[in-house]
Structure 1
Amino acid sequence: MDFNLQAYQADHLLHLSVKAERRLSILENERHRWLEIDGVVQSAMSLAEPGSLCLPHQQHIAERLPAQASRILELGLGGGDLTRHLAMRWPEAQHDCVDLDAEILTLFQQFFLPERQRAPRLHHADALHFLLESREHYDLVLLDLFSQDGNPLLLFQARLYQALANCLQGTLIINLLPRTRLEQEQALRLAREWVGPTEAHAVPGYRNVILHCTRQQP
């Protein structure tokens, strides 16, 4: 079900929106439906198996998921590739998804949520604000936040990891797209300092680095 990022072609344009800050489109061919932002594929869904993962960095994330999770938080939704996969893996889990872009939340429900799948709880909110206001505790947190030129500065600031530490009781996985080695080292240092033991895993052939962190209880 892999989505070929070098040779994909669309048969249909399902949605297009153009704003000053970004161009968003949803496209489809006979096998896949996918989300592009500024011409870059952000998410891809197999039409035959919506719960499968089609992009290489997501498959690396799946390899590092815990054996079980009952309370899941996703910060950054996109087309909901991991959302669908986790719903297939743990259909009874409590699942919250947070995204700052209201259009992303709407398009996920319209184009990327299978009819028979139970919808997660969707939150239109800033990731840090949600963490600071939340009274929930999660055994799995997935962090996948991006700005136009890579990860937002928040990923390299202690306040994010402090907030994560207060909400997390298990595994934290971060999809990092570092622009420099210093950014990767900073995120790794902060995760280790505030959350717990952390490993960095490169995705061969891609800029993505997956940080896998286990909460160390005080």
Structure 2
Amino acid sequence: MHSLLELPSPFPAEPGLVRLLEPPGSDAAALAARLVAGDYGKPFVLENGGLRALHFSLGYVQSVMDIANPAALVLAYARAMMAFLLFNPRPRRIGMIGLGGGSLANFCHRHLPAAELTVVEIDADVIALRRHFGVPADDARFRVLHADGVRWLGETETRSDVLLIDAFGAEGVAETLLDTDFHANAFRHLGGRGVLVMNLAGTRESFAPHVARLLEVFDERVIAMPVREDGNHILLAFRDPVFAPRWSWMRSQALALQARTGLDFPNLAGALEAGERQGHAWRLARGAGGQRLFGAASAPIVEGVAVQAQQLAEGLGAERGIVAGEELLLALVQRRGLCRQQHLALVEDVIAHARAHEQEWDRPVQAVVGRKVITRVGDLDVLGEMTLHGSVVRSKGMPVPHHAGSEGGGCGPKADTPD
């Protein structure tokens, strides 16, 4: 185990002890000043109140360990990443990109004794701290590789049932992942029913391109859920071309997993189901800047809805105009053959258009175009809400056809409209 230099925490808001990968006799005052300035440049350990945390900067906590129970998952995002067990409760091979403080590695090593685990970490200093975070030694079923995860994915011939991606720089998701075939290689690395799990943190502008790339590579078989306690989002992508979540079955599976691991899997199952129905992945892919997911191609549809809704409102009055406007929007969606997530994104485009032109319209038209639609796709209720003019507006359900992708996960030709 590497020896660490120990000094009192220099952060007024974070008392405790700081431990650094520095030789004995180093200038503690100078190191403390660099930590406070944010230019230390190495991972460091902050310990207080029975918890040990790994940091690259004070603003971003990489991992937290309960010293008395190293295999416990202290952070909510780490617990949420284990949601893959709802889809594959007993994976045989797990790949991890990013060791951090080893929380996920420790948990999987303890609770999945039949799984082979390979962890890839690019930073030698992070690996040097592994023993301080209770990461087990390498053995026949567990190993930590000092390598570039992007290169490893492109070169390894092994396949994983689950691939966990928790790769961060000091400011969030590593931007270099977008400059390579990382997402396509991740898809190829998974076995036939493999699941990719990715932790998203930082600004939405920084991770939206990753979500969009995964939606493309995995043919839209992607579910995302927010982790409100940490401000993160967890994204799951599925290689199986006929993947379809079985939410009713998953509820009983969640109870069994909760008894086995102690994690609140019923809550995770509910969050995933809500994320899938609300199209959370598509919303993340749109980014925080409000750009349209479909780009210029959706502009004529948005404009057409606005103009025709205005005519409806003028000719039918406010109440009938609201209903007719919803029916018009749904009819346009049906003709385009959009799936439910694309439909929700298109509705948001229409709302954004209404806001941008609200001074040109009277209030009935704002109500028509700005009405958030709750749709029904097949047997799934798609819930939606939108804050408009300072208040949340909800609408009644309207029927739309189920759109099945050519391989079960995409948005293929539209089905017949139900009566």
TM-score, normalised with respect to structure 1: 0.83
The aligned residue for residue 18 of structure 2 is 13
The aligned residue for residue 152 of structure 2 is 130
2:84 is the alignment partner of 1:60: no
The answer to whether the 8 Å contact 2:127/2:146 transfers is: yes
The aligned residue for residue 3 of structure 1 is none
Unmatched runs of 5 consecutive residues or more in structure 2: 1-12, 23-30, 242-406, 408-419
The aligned residue for residue 164 of structure 1 is 186
2:210 is the alignment partner of 1:187: yes
Aligned length: 209
Q: For 1:1-218, what aligned pairs fall within 5 Å after superposition?
A: 9-10=15-16, 12-17=17-22, 22-29=41-48, 31-39=50-58, 40-65=60-85, 66-108=88-130, 110-113=131-134, 120-156=142-178, 159-169=181-191, 170-181=194-205, 183-196=206-219, 197-217=221-241
SS at match of 1:86: helix
SS at match of 2:61: strand
Structure with higher helix content: 2
Q: Spell out, residue by residue over 1:43-101, the C-alpha distance to the aligned partner (whole angstroms, 9 max, x if none).
A: 11112221110012112212343311110111011110000000111123111111110
The aligned residue for residue 265 of structure 2 is none
Q: CA deviation at 1:8?
A: 6.2
Evaluate the alpha carbon distance shift between residue 133 and residue 116 of structure 1 in structure 2; reply closer, same or farther with a 3 A threshold.
closer
The answer to whether the 8 Å contact 2:42/2:125 transfers is: no
SS at match of 2:168: coil
Unmatched runs of 5 consecutive residues or more in structure 1: 1-6
Inter-partner Cα distance in structure 2 for 1:203 and 1:91: 27
Inter-partner Cα distance in structure 1 for 2:202 and 2:178: 10
- Residue 82 of structure 1 aligns with an amino acid whose one-letter code is L
Q: CA deviation at 1:155?
A: 3.8
The answer to whether the 8 Å contact 1:98/1:126 transfers is: yes
- Residue 110 of structure 2 aligns with an amino acid whose one-letter code is M
Q: CA deviation at 1:145?
A: 1.0
Evaluate the alpha carbon distance shift between residue 140 and residue 16 of structure 1 in structure 2; reply closer, same or farther with a 3 A threshold.
same
TM-score, normalised with respect to structure 2: 0.46
- Residue 121 of structure 1 aligns with an amino acid whose one-letter code is R
Inter-partner Cα distance in structure 2 for 1:185 and 1:28: 33
Higher Rg of the two aligned structures: 2
Inter-partner Cα distance in structure 2 for 1:95 and 1:55: 21
What RMSD over aligned residues (CA atoms) do the two structures have, in Å? 2.7
Q: Which has the higher contact order (CA 8 A, sep 6+)?
A: 1
Inter-partner Cα distance in structure 2 for 1:145 and 1:69: 21
Inter-partner Cα distance in structure 2 for 1:212 and 1:50: 25
Evaluate the alpha carbon distance shift between residue 179 and residue 115 of structure 1 in structure 2; reply closer, same or farther with a 3 A threshold.
closer
The answer to whether the 8 Å contact 1:188/1:200 transfers is: no
Evaluate the alpha carbon distance shift between residue 216 and residue 186 of structure 1 in structure 2; reply closer, same or farther with a 3 A threshold.
farther
The answer to whether the 8 Å contact 1:95/1:120 transfers is: yes
Evaluate the alpha carbon distance shift between residue 207 and residue 158 of structure 1 in structure 2; reply closer, same or farther with a 3 A threshold.
farther
Moved more, 64-73 or 27-36: 27-36
SS at match of 1:63: helix
- Residue 217 of structure 2 aligns with an amino acid whose one-letter code is W
% identical equivalent positions: 26
SS at match of 2:183: helix
